[in-house]
Structures are given as C-alpha cells and as structure tokens.
Structure 1
Amino acid sequence: MTDTDTTLVDADLFRSLLRRHAAAVVVITAPGSPPAGFTATSFTSVSLDPPLVSFALAHTASAWSAVQSADTIAVHVLTQEQEHVARTFSTRGIDRFAAHGAWHPGPDGVPLLEGVLATLICRVSQRVEAGDHTIVLAAPSFGEHHSDATVTPLVYHDGSYAHLKRTA
C-alpha cells in the first residue's frame, strides 16, 4: 500500500475488521415524548480539558430524531450482568423503557437507568455529520459510578456480548 492509495475497503471487510475491536456497551438516553434510548458501542472519551465524550448514531436509527434535538443526554455504562438491558435497548419496534422498567426522569427529563456501572449526564455541545451517522460531542455535567470495584463492564467483541475476567 502506498501513501497515495485511496481505495477504500468494502463494507463487508470493514465490518469484519471492526469486529476485532472490543468496545464497552452503553445505553444512551434522550428526553422526548416518548423518551429515546439505544445501545451503543461507539462511546468514547474525547478530551479532559474540557471534559468531552462522543458517540455516533445512524440517521436511520429510531432514536435519531430525539438525539438530534436533545440538549441533554445520559450515557449508562452497563455491567456484565446487564446483557438483557443491552438487548432491550437494541430491539426495534418495542417500547424500550416499558420493557426495561427500571428508570426515572432526570435533569431536563433525560431518562436515567437504574443499577448501571456508571452514569454520565451530558450537555450536547456539537453534532458532526459523518457519512450515514452523526457524531455527537457532549460535555458531562454530572457523573456517578458503582462503588464496588469488582463489578466489570459489559463488552462487545466479534459480534457478541462478552464478559471481562479479572486477573490478579
């Protein structure tokens, strides 16, 4: 491959390559009527000064209209015991909040899930168009985490949910 090679990988190879990348599983929620929530593996920290996080969402996603207009969103890092929560918030055509049940409204009406590993309430600061997705940059204004350091996050790898194994 040369520096001038501009050939892009095809979609199937791209998916296959990215399946090798393990990612934390989060549920992102946004206020609305009804509220919106979806499972994501695109969540990442962006900056410490100022604190910024990001995630990407497809324009075809059912949650897109709520996220597109939201000023406040919440990011919920799931524990390895919460695969059912990840599956609920990735299922199409259901009332995800009714199916999940364990949530309450937070600041600006943003839905907050209960019993998660960590929660960040964030103010949306920028939306960046990126192909068929939008990258949302958000500034955390509040955060809390599970106090038990032995609780581990749910991860997604090679097309399925996986659990981390702690080593001494």
Structure 2
Amino acid sequence: MKGLDAFADRLDPDMYVVTATADGERAGCLVGFASQCSIGPPRFVVWLSKANRTFRVARRADRLAVHVLTREQHALAELFGGHTGDDGVDKFAHVRCTARQDGAVVLDDAPAWFVGRVLLRTDAGDHVGFVLDPVDSGAPGAPAGPLLRLSDALDISPGHPAD
C-alpha cells in the first residue's frame, strides 16, 4: 500500500534484541517492531517474524527478555540481526549473558532490559505479536549514549528473508 509505505518510511523506531528460551533451546534476534502498549497495567508488545528461529522458540516460551542497545553496540545488533541459529551460529557463545532461574536469558552488556511473561500471542500476518507483562528489569550500565535506531541498523543484512 503506497500510502502506508510513505508513512512507514518516515519512522525511525528503536531497535531491540529479544531473547527466548524453551525446552533447553535458546534464541535471540534484532527487532524493530516493538512498543509499550498499555500504561495500566504496564504492557509491552514485540513482533517476531514467523520466518525467524527466535519466533519458533518464543512460541514455546513463557517469558521473553527485551534489551535496548546503544548506537555504539552495532556489532551486537549485527550478531543478533545478521545471523540465525538455523545457520549453526550460537549467538550466545559470543556475548556475556546470564541464564536466569525463570528461564530468561539476559544480555549482560545491554544498558537496559526487562523480562516479560507472555500474556498473549496474536497473529498479524507474517509477524506474531507477543504481549508481555514485565516481571523484572535492570539497567546495569548507566546511561550510555543514544539508543540504536532503525537508521543505525540499515546496513545489517537480515539473517533470513523479511517474509
């Protein structure tokens, strides 16, 4: 739809790394479709592509971890956005991370993160929205500069086709 393309081309959303763990399998990906979706109670939604391995793990997970990155963390964004576990890359072997008792995996170098309990999964076409109830959060690295945005990540080649 031409009108929607013109609208979307003007946006420059924050980028997030979403991690999921289920049945002993862990995955993570770079996400540009995400937003707070309720104030009271607080809720956040992340949209994962059905073509993504992280989606296949997340649909079995009861919690997801959502991390913000700074512009200086482009290499971390490239790791999670440009590779897929389907090609044999263990992204977590290349980062400092903590496996939590609740099953979530948190990236230690993220300036801020939260873990959310999955309340709802909603199919919206080529992406599925995971509505999250935040249950824990952290900001281990004090403010570390501007957040990574879509315009900062345009040079990252996706690890899988967009659709």
Please state which band the TM-score falls in when normalised by the shorter chain.
Answer: 0.7 to 0.9
Report the structure number with the largest CA radius of gyration: 1
**Matching residue of 1:29:** 19
Q: Distance in 2 between matches of 1:152 and 1:56?
A: 23
Q: Distance in 1 between matches of 2:153 and 2:92?
A: 24
Q: Does 1:153 align with 2:147?
A: yes
In structure 1, distance between residues paired with 2:117 and 2:80 = 21
- State whether residues 55 and 136 of structure 1, in contact with CA within 8 Å, keep that contact through their aligned partners in structure 2: yes
Matched, 1:65 2:22: no
On the 8 A contact 2:109/2:141 being kept in 1, the answer is: no
1:66 counterpart SS class:
helix
**What's the TM-score once normalised by structure 1's chain length?**
0.80
Match of 1:96 in 2: 91
Q: Is structure 2 residue 78 aligned with structure 1 residue 87?
A: yes
Equivalent residues in 2 for 1:131-150 (5 A)?
131-146=125-140, 148-149=142-143
Amino acid at match of 1:88: L
- Post-superposition shift, 1:159? 6.4
- Alpha carbons 2:111, 2:143 under 8 Å: kept: no
In 2, Cα distance between the equivalents of 1:19 and 1:60? 23
Q: Give the 4+ runs in structure 1 shifted more than 4 A.
A: 13-17
Gap change, CA 1:159 and 1:151, over 3 Å in 2: closer
SS of the aligned residue for 1:31 comes to strand
CA distance in 1, matches of 2:6, 2:153: 9
Kindly, what percent of the aligned residue pairs are identical? 27
Matches of 2:12 and 2:56 in 1, distance apart?
28
8 Å Cα contact 1:28/1:37 also seen in 2: yes
Higher-strand-fraction structure: 1
Equivalent residue of 1:24, what SS?
coil
Structure holding more helix per residue: 2
TM norm structure 2: 0.82
1:27/1:86 contact within 8 Å kept: yes
Deviations 1:93-119 (A, max 9, x none): 221111x32111013221110121211
Q: Secondary structure at the match of 2:120?
A: strand
Contact 1:31 1:108 in 2 (8 A): no
